[in-house]
């Protein structure tokens, strides 16, 4: 158990340092936002580009890997909506935001560093394969569902335009598309550019984790606590459990099983709040779920690392 904590705790300590720095006013909300903007706009896209552009797509895009993770993610989205609508009597638009929080695990800023510490950099290929379509899948499902509900007179073409606009304005999606283009075309990146991207990519996770801590300090576990814990239950228990069962039923390799389950076991990501903010619905619940889920995941992720081979 001590070895597992040594894997998990450094990631959460860095989040805690960011939280504490904001708590004692060593940094401001403006600086936290600037750090996160730098991470999301430049450093993390560089990390994704470097990881995906060099992937062996034929070997790492295992249908069993992607199916086990994304079938469970879609099921989590549906359960989140149904639970919010019928258990907690939320309106349909709030319910979609809550479903999105159940769907969008923090695969990048928590999943990658924890998987790297647990299994080494060579074990991240499956994580990158999942992450490469994570934003596309989650935002595609979330925005499409919300826009259909909000349509009220909009044509199918207008809905599609809204979905595409939301996807193409996301720096992570653009970086992933460029990475696939470079990979499939066989483009050779000049050494100087490649080294520069490596330097930028190395800063991504530490800065993002520190900034997440500062952002989490901004929020309090407000709103309906039962709804918040429901989101955490779906995200931290149901999603990885179903992924684990599906992966076993599909005879997924040991490395693939590790990648799928560790990614699925992460807390709701900050994107859950960003999605809520886009539509102005269930913002306090989404933000609180990120805070509470991230705290609880210190223990739940440790349990999953013990269970995994």
Secondary structure of 275-293 in HEC code, one letter for each residue? HHHHHCCCHHHHHHHHHHH
Residue 37: the pLDDT is 84
pLDDT number for residue 217: 83
Residue 197 CB coordination number (10 Å): 17
Interatomic CA distance for residues 17 and 213, integer angstroms: 7
Candidate from 23-32, 204-213, 235-244 with smallest mean pLDDT? 204-213
| 106-110, 239-243, 292-296: range with highest mean pLDDT | 239-243
Residue 281 clears pLDDT 90, i.e. is over it: no
pLDDT of residue 167: 67
Non-local (6+) Cβ contacts of 66 within 8 A are 129, 130, 133
- CA–centroid distance for 22 within its chain: 23
User: In the prediction, which pLDDT does 97 show?
Assistant: 94
| pLDDT category of residue 7 using cuts at 50, 70 and 90 | low
**Average pLDDT, stretch 178-189?**
84
What per-residue confidence (pLDDT) applies to 100?
A: 95
d(CA 95, CA 231): 11
pLDDT tens for residues 79-115? 999 999 999 999 999 999 999 999 999 887 788 888 8
Per-residue model confidence (pLDDT) at position 241: 97
**Please, which residues have CB within 8 angstroms of residue 273's CB and are 6 or more apart in sequence?**
219, 283, 286, 287, 290
Task: Specify which of 11-15, 72-76, 267-271 reaches the highest per-range mean pLDDT.
Answer: 72-76
* DSSP H helices in 83-151: 92-103, 112-119, 125-132, 134-150
Q: Show Cβ contacts of residue 298 under 8 Å, excluding neighbours closer than 6 positions.
A: 8, 9, 12
pLDDT value of residue 175? 83
- What local confidence, expressed as pLDDT, does residue 153 receive? 62
Question: Does domain 2-307 bear CATH number 1.20.1530.20?
Answer: yes
CA distances from 49 to 36, 100, 183, 190 (A): 18, 25, 10, 14
Report the share of the chain in percent with pLDDT over 90.
35
Judge residue 22's burial from the number of C-beta atoms within 10 Å of its C-beta, 0-12 exposed, 13-18 middle, 19 or more buried: buried
Q: Please, what is the average pLDDT of the chain?
A: 86
Work out the average pLDDT over 278-283.
81
Average pLDDT over residues 190-200: 89
**What's the mean pLDDT in 164-192?**
80
pTM for this prediction: 0.81
Nearest C-alpha neighbor of 105 from the set 260, 269, 243, 234: 269
How far is residue 306's CA from residue 309's CA, in Å, rounded to a whole number? Answer: 8
How far apart CA 31 and CA 41 sit, in angstroms, is 15
Per-residue pLDDT, 76 = 97
Host H or E run for residue 14: helix 2-23
The answer, yes or no, to whether residue 269 has pLDDT greater than 90, is no
Name the packing angle between helices 283-307 and 204-217 (round to 10°): 130
Reply yes or no on whether the pLDDT at 234 is more than 70.
yes
In whole angstroms, what is the distance from residue 222 CA to residue 9 CA? 26
Q: Above 70 in pLDDT, residue 272? A: yes
Q: What is the dihedral of CA 118, 127, 207, 175, to 10 degrees?
A: 160
Alpha-carbon gap, residue 140 to 134, rounded angstroms: 10
- Rounded Cα distance between 257 and 104, Å, is 19
Instruction: Specify the DSSP element, H or E, that contains 184.
Output: helix 171-185
pLDDT single digits (tens) 138-167: 888 888 888 788 766 667 777 777 767 766
Confidence bin at 249 (pLDDT 50/70/90): very high
Predicted confidence at residue 99, as pLDDT, reads 96
Give the 3-state secondary structure percentages of the chain, helix then strand then coil, rounded to 5: 80, 0, 15
52-72 confidence digits (pLDDT tens): 888 777 776 788 999 999 999
């Amino acid at each position: 158990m001590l070895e597992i904590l040594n894997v998990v705790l450094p990631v959460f300590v860095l989040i805690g340092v960011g939280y504490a720095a904001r708590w004692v006013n060593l940094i401001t909300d403006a600086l936290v936002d600037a750090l996160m903007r730098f991470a999301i706009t430049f450093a993390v896209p560089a990390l994704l580009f470097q990881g995906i552009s060099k992937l062996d797509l034929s070997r790492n895009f295992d249908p069993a890997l992607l199916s086990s993770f994304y079938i469970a993610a879609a099921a989590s989205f549906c359960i989140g909506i149904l639970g919010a609508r019928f258990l907690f009597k939320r309106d349909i638009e709030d319910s979609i935001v809550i479903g999105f929080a159940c769907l969008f695990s923090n695969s990048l800023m928590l999943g990658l560093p924890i998987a790297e510490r647990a299994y080494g950099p060579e074990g991240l290929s499956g994580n990158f394969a999942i992450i490469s379509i994570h934003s596309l899948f989650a935002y595609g499902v979330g925005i499409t569902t919300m826009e259909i509900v909000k349509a009220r007179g909009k044509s199918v073409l207008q809905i599609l335009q809204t979905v595409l606009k939301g996807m193409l304005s996301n720096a992570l999606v653009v970086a992933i598309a460029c990475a696939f283009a470079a990979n499939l075309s066989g483009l050779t990146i000049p050494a100087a550019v490649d080294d520069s991207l490596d330097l930028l990519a190395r800063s991504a996770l530490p800065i993002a984790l520190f900034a997440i801590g500062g952002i989490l300090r901004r929020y309090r576990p407000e709103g309906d606590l039962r709804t918040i814990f429901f989101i955490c239950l779906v995200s931290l228990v149901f999603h990885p459990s179903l992924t684990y069962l599906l992966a076993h039923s599909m005879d997924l390799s040991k490395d693939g099983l590790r990648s799928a389950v560790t990614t699925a076991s992460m807390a709701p990501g900050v994107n859950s709040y960003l999605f809520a903010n886009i539509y102005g619905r269930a913002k306090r619940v989404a933000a609180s779920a990120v805070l509470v889920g991230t705290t609880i995941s210190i223990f739940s992720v440790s349990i999953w690392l013990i269970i995994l081979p």
